[in-house]
A and B are shown apart, each in its own frame.
Chain A
């Protein structure tokens, strides 16, 4: 079966999204009710395209698409390999689910801004998809800016405190983008090309070059700001807390993942794994920063009183997991498996948590954890979804978090062969982080279901669950938390992962013991 215009999907996936953004703006001026269906339909079509591309890539290998027919050194090239297609599906799937959820939520939170909201949201998705499909480091920067500008607007859309949060993000995000641009500039100065494939071919003799090494550090720092890796996370808690519920979920689930994607892409497709191995010490530095981030994020999360803020700090810790995986990759392929798996796992889990947090705010305007008493009775579905996702986040088997933890444990143990102290330290840190996760998630589950301090006004146990269009996305994600975990553990994704690792230049592909 050939799909309609199948060979143009790499660019169509972006183009239709961008057109949808403007269509929503124009059509929404006539009737604001069309904004939501247009957005939903667009994302759905994008998602189908992504699946079709993944299918094609798995069968035939990477797709190279030359924009306007200009060959790479001059024109921009879009490259879809297994890793792109996978991340693209993660982004679009999460966006799709969040947009279903957004209908009622946006109607309530931003009744006057429905049309601009969906328009900008579509721009954000355009930017995110663009970052993922492009095979050109400067083009990646352009899409990075598109998505960043869209997200500044989305965070600020509610007004009030979110303005300050967005402003902080503008400053920090722009710095991150600048670092990225500097890195790209250095590489261009040294090699004279911006195409990723060309760069990876031209760079090997230049690995000792200071400019190349500086470019690497610029990329790493720039993307670390974007993905809120500790200690460059300061913009993130406010932004996640004060953004509208849907936006928090989409940004937390997809945007940080795309930054992770960009980092992995730059490290493995531009610099390649040999560079990491030759640039002694860099991988250990990454690992330790990540490890400190894991602990620090969790400890900070414990101190929070607001749910969304706590989830934001938890994200910081989880990003640490991913970066730890990346850092361990040169030593053990398991690290990269863990990092890539966690892109999906964390997106699902954190998406579900933010949606549930949004539901609590939507119905009862509950922000503070201490007010959650009796929620289990009042909002059974939202509470159940939250609890399942929390359990998955803690890493109780067979949920998503456990799969990641297992992969990273393998990686750390394999690392003990070359650096025993750090390797075992990472094992210990992973375990401690599990316990810290329990500490901060379980006190919420406790409040929702069990704590009964007898404050009078909490005793109205009238059910007040959110509308169906919000419940279904949450429960869907909650179920995915378990299903995806089982799929990882049973190795259903192993062939795909194997192909991904081969394309990213990991020798031997999926590790075998």
Chain B
């Protein structure tokens, strides 16, 4: 345990940036300068906390005043929180640059509101990553919901508004379940702190109050609807009417990841692996995840709008993470934890590519994208890497997390129940379906001729502010993969680890927290 103010500073960066952005709205360059500065400052502060976390310390920042013993607002950074904080803060920088290019190219309206809400949303996401108990998590979770509303309805069309209403209806209702769950946990145990291996007092209730615990868990599942598990997913594709940077950061990284992050927190740090196993809740969660994986992929195949297809792919990938957690085995949880940053990087690449295509050509539908690989080679190359990652094919990093998930199902088959082997097949089928809907996009882009007579396909990428961020995320998706392979080489290890932001080390530490060896 180390007490530090750094977590608070991390949160202050976006929190101070937001009103500044609001006030500097008249001067776009300064306004965006503030956004960039804040994002870089946030990321550096997060990076500065890696060392102590890797050493096995937990950074705490709690307020001496608490409402009640065991119920206060507190921040803590452990390895798992660090993973999420790293992902969202590093991507915030890239997405800020990307949004500048995107929003200016498309001459979007209300840009000040956009950057303002964006900073607030990042504030919420970072707060979620660093909260030390359920109450704090809930506070930031709701801040995230409310601040993203303005982003979802950004277009202010009837469609955007109805998407916004749907978004609110789902997520705030789910917030009620979350609140109930949180109060219940406090009522039952007298604490809501995230504890390594789960809250002991909760586990002590097990044989006597089995059904209370099960119902409570279902409340939490309903409370984290940001995961968009089926059949409560329809807000996510609807929210794709938002501008692409919003879909990219918030609907691929911050919002939905906040959901999976929360569920993994509940599974590993509130209930604990042992309690989950003895209640059989792993199977329940795995069934939900498996169902969602298959069905969302089937839905995705039918979509022609690129962003909507990506949205369904997100739903599918989130369920990978859920499944990993549900397996309650070491490799499964490892895969789930890894997939949070990895999926973030890969999915944001895909979304940013979709946005780049829109900026350069104005095309939204896949069927219109014939020959686009020739006119926008960098973008489509990046897209290919992202797509490979989604399908779990090397050299993109998606392969590694999927490998661990498969291992997880096998270990679960051996140690928990033979039924779990089903989920290996579910995983493989889902991966196959991933291929079914991603490869046609690549095929259209690279091998189909564009519609109408075009004399000579000229390279016409969108502005560099748009292209460079997506190239960087694509490169990192590969770097993470290479890092995994090169880590065993002793000479290279320190450099490789640094380049991959120590993600693998952090996962190791986090696993140690969840499953004490």
Partner of A435, one of B65, B143, B173, B180: B173
Residue A446 is within 8 A (CB to CB) of chain B in the complex: yes
Give 1 or 0 for each of A475-513: 1 = CB within 8 Å of chain B CB.
000000000001011111010000000000000000011
- Choose, from B184-192, B404-412, B430-438, the stretch at the interface: B184-192
Given that A398-B139, A431-B176, A490-B72 are known contacts, is A413 also in contact with B187, CB under 8 Å in the complex? yes
List the B side residues contacting A391 at CB < 8 Å.
Answer: 146
Chain B 307-318: CB-based contact to A (< 8 A → 1; otherwise 0): 000000000000
Find the residue from B146, B173, B184 having the highest chain A CB count within 10 A. Answer: B146
B66 located at the interface, meaning its Cβ lies under 8 Å from any Cβ of chain A in the complex: yes
CB-CB < 8 A to B100: which residues of A? none
Is B138 a contact of A488 with CB atoms below 8 Å? no
Nearest CB of A to B143, in Å: 7
B35 interface hit (Cβ, 8 Å): no
Distance of B203 from chain A, by nearest CB (Å)? 18
Q: Which residues of B contact A486 (CB under 8 A)?
A: 73
Q: Which of A160-216 contact B (CB under 8 A)?
A: none
* Interface membership of B142, Cβ < 8 A: yes
* Chain A residues near B516 (CB-CB < 8 A): none
CB of B442, distance to nearest CB on chain A (Å): 37
Give the interface centre of A398, A405, A494 by most chain B CB atoms within 10 Å: A398
Question: Considering the complex, which residues of chain A in the window 99-136 have a beta carbon less than 8 Å from any beta carbon of chain B?
Answer: none
Q: Is A326 in contact with chain B by the CB < 8 A criterion?
A: no
Residue A409 at the B interface, CB < 8 A? Answer: yes
In terms of DSSP, what is the predominant structure of the interface of chain A? helix
Known: A396-B146, A438-B172. A491 touches B68 (CB 8 A): yes
The interface bits of chain B over 119-163 (1 if a CB of A lies within 8 angstroms of the residue's CB, else 0) are 000000000000000010011001100100010010011001100
Assembly CA distance A442 to B167 (angstroms) = 13
Question: Do the beta carbons of A491 and B66 come within 8 Å of each other?
Answer: yes
Q: How far is the CA of A494 from the CA of B66 in the complex (A)?
A: 9
Cα–Cα distance between A488 and B73 once the two chains are bound (Å): 11
Question: By the criterion CB–CB under 8 Å, are A494 and B67 in contact?
Answer: yes
A427 lies within 8 A of chain B by Cβ: yes
CB nearest to A394 among chain B residues: B172
Q: Which residue in B142, B168, B180 is a CB contact (below 8 Å) of A431?
A: B180
Residues of the B chain whose Cβ atoms lie less than 8 Å from the Cβ of A491 = 65-68, 72
Please indicate the chain B residues that have their CB under 8 angstroms from the CB of A446 in the complex.
153, 161, 164
B168 to A410, Cβ gap below 8 A? no
Alpha-carbon gap, A446 to B71, bound state (A): 34
Q: Does A406 count as interface, using CB distance less than 8 angstroms?
A: yes
Could you say which residues of chain A place their CB within 8 Å of the CB of B63?
Answer: 490
By a CB distance below 8 angstroms, the chain B residues around A452 are 156-157
What residues on A are CB-neighbors of B139 within 8 Å?
Answer: 397-398, 402, 489
A396 to B143, CA, bound (A): 7
- Residues in B neighbouring A409, C-beta threshold 8 A: 179-180, 183
Residues of B within 8 A of A414 (CB): 187
Whether, in the assembled complex, A449 has its beta carbon less than 8 Å from a beta carbon of chain B, the answer is yes
Contacts of A402 in B (CB 8 A): 139
Task: Scan residues 412-468 of chain A and give those whose CB is less than 8 A from a CB of chain B.
Answer: 413-414, 427, 431, 434-435, 438, 442, 446, 449-452
CA distance A17 to B48 in the complex (A): 58
B296 to chain A, nearest CB (A): 27
The chain A residue sitting closest to B113, CB to CB, is A449
Chain B residues positioned under 8 Å from A488 (CB to CB):
67
Complex CA gap A491/B135 in Å reads 14
Residue of A402, A446, A489 with most partner-chain B CB within 10 A: A489
* Chain B contact residues: helix, strand, loop or mixed: helix
Q: Smallest Cβ distance from B11 to chain A, in angstroms?
A: 13
Nearest Cβ distance between residue B160 and chain A, in whole angstroms? 8
Shortest Cβ gap from B12 to chain A (Å): 14
Contact: A410 with B187, CB < 8 Å?
yes
Q: Are A435 and B68 in contact (CB under 8 A)?
A: no
Is B70 among interface residues, defined by CB-CB distance under 8 A? Answer: yes
A117 to B373, CA, bound (A): 74
CA distance A396 to B142 in the complex (A): 6
Closest residue of chain A to B186 (Cβ to Cβ) is: A513
Does B69 count as interface, using CB distance less than 8 angstroms?
yes
B67–A413 touching, CB < 8 Å: no
Q: In the complex, A332→B387 CA distance in Å?
A: 56
> For this complex, into which size category does the number of interface residues on chain B fall?
35 or more
Given A450-B156, A489-B67, verify A435-B73 contact (CB < 8 Å): no
The minimal Cβ–Cβ distance linking B18 to chain A, given in whole angstroms, is 12
Rounded to whole Å, the gap between the CB of A230 and the closest CB of chain B is 22
Measured in the bound complex, the distance between the Cα atoms of B385 and A426 in whole Å is 52
Take A396-B143, A397-B139, A431-B176 as given contacts and tell me if A492 and B183 are in contact as well, using a CB distance cutoff of 8 Å. no
In whole Å, how far is B366's beta carbon from the nearest beta carbon of chain A? 29
- What residues of A have a CB within 8 angstroms of the CB of B150 in the complex? 449-450
- What are the residues of chain B within 8 A of A413 when measuring CB–CB? 183-184, 187
**Distance, CA A53 to CA B67, complexed state (A):** 25
Q: By the criterion CB–CB under 8 Å, are A513 and B143 in contact?
A: no
Within 8 A of A (CB), among B269-327: none
Complex: A239 Cα to B63 Cα, angstroms: 44
Q: With A and B bound together, what is the CA distance between A290 and B183 in angstroms?
A: 22
Q: What is the CB-to-nearest-CB distance from A346 to chain B, in angstroms, rounded to a whole number?
A: 19
B70 surroundings in chain A (CB, below 8 A): 513
A424 to chain B, nearest CB (A): 10
Interface contact A513-B68, CB-CB below 8 Å: yes
- Give chain A residues whose Cβ lies under 8 Å from the Cβ of B176: 431, 434-435
B4 to chain A, nearest CB (A): 19
Contacts of B172 in A (CB 8 A): 434-435, 438
The answer, among A398, A405, A449, for a CB contact under 8 Å with B73, is A398
- Other-chain contact of A397, B71, B138, B157, B173 (Cβ < 8 Å): B138
Contacts of B68 in A (CB 8 A): 491, 512-513
Most chain-A Cβ atoms within 10 A of its Cβ — which of B72, B156, B160?
A: B156
A490 contacts B180, C-beta separation under 8 Å: no
Judge whether B187 and A438 touch: CB under 8 Å. no
Nearest CB of chain A from residue B170's CB, rounded to whole Å: 11
**Quick one: which of B182-214 are within 8 Å of A by CB?**
183-184, 186-187, 190
CA–CA, A414 to B135, complex, Å?
18
Given contacts A398-B139, A431-B176, contact A489 B73 (CB under 8 A): yes
Interface string of A387-413 (1 = CB under 8 A from B): 000010000111000100110011001
Establish whether residues B143 and A397, one from each chain, have CB atoms under 8 Å apart when the complex forms.
yes
B residues less than 8 Å from A410 (CB atoms) = 183, 186-187
Q: How far is the CB of B281 from chain A (nearest CB, A)?
A: 22
A371-398 residues with Cβ-Cβ distance < 8 A to B are: 391, 396-398
Bound CA span A431–B173, Å: 8
Q: Please indicate the chain B residues that have their CB under 8 angstroms from the CB of A449 in the complex.
A: 113, 150
Q: Complex Cα distance A497/B180, Å?
A: 24
- Chain A residues with CB under 8 Å of B183's CB are 406, 409-410, 413
In Å, the complex CA distance between A449 and B146 comes to: 14
Quick one: CB contact mask for B66-89 with A, threshold 8 Å, 1 for yes?
111111110000000000000000
In the complex, which residues of chain A have a beta carbon less than 8 angstroms from the beta carbon of B180?
Answer: 409, 427, 431
Known: A391-B146, A397-B138. A490 touches B187 (CB 8 A): no
Among the interface residues A451, A488, A513, which one has the most CB atoms of the partner chain B within 10 A?
A513
- Once bound together, how far apart are the Cα atoms of A491 and B62, in whole Å? 13
9 A-B pairs with CB atoms under 8 Å apart are A397-B139, A410-B183, A410-B186, A438-B168, A450-B153, A488-B67, A489-B139, A490-B66, A491-B72
Which residues does B use to contact A, with CB under 8 Å? 63, 65-73, 113, 135, 138-139, 142-143, 146, 150, 153, 156-157, 160-161, 164, 168, 172-173, 176, 179-180, 183-184, 186-187, 190
Shortest Cβ-Cβ A-B pairs, 5 listed? A397-B139, A491-B67, A431-B176, A452-B156, A490-B65
17 additional contacts (CB under 8 A) given A397-B139, A431-B180: A397-B143, A413-B184, A427-B180, A431-B176, A435-B172, A435-B173, A446-B161, A446-B164, A450-B150, A450-B160, A489-B72, A490-B66, A490-B67, A491-B72, A494-B65, A513-B187, A513-B190
Which A residues form the contact surface with B (CB < 8 A)? 391, 396-398, 402, 405-406, 409-410, 413-414, 427, 431, 434-435, 438, 442, 446, 449-452, 486, 488-492, 494, 512-513
